[in-house]
Amino acid sequence: MLCHMAVVAITSSSLKNARRYIEVMESAGADVRVLIPDDHTESTTEVMMRDVGGLLLCGGPDIDPSLYGEKPDPDAGLDLNRPLDDLELRILDYALGHDMPVLAICRGMQLLNVSFGGKLIQDLPNHRSTKIDVKWVPASHTIYIAPGAKSAPIIGMAGFFKVNSLHHQGLKEAQRAPRLMTTAYEVDDGLIEGLESPEHSWVIGLQCHPERQDEVPKSFNNLFLGLHERAETFIAELAA
Q: Which residue numbers are catalytic?
A: 106, 209, 211
Residues 6 or more apart in contact with residue 58 via CB below 8 angstroms: 10, 11, 12, 17, 18, 21, 105, 106, 107, 108, 211
CA angle (118 as vertex; 171, 221 as ends), nearest 5: 55
CA angle (103 as vertex; 46, 176 as ends), nearest 5: 105
Dist. CA 185–CA 189, nearest whole Å:
8
Burial track 214-232 (b if 16+ CB lie within 10 A, e otherwise):
ebbeeebbbbbbbbbbbbb
Burial track 147-168 (b if 16+ CB lie within 10 A, e otherwise):
eebbbbebbeebeebebbbbbb
Beta partners for residue 9, in sequence order? 33, 55
Dist. CA 183–CA 70, nearest whole Å:
26
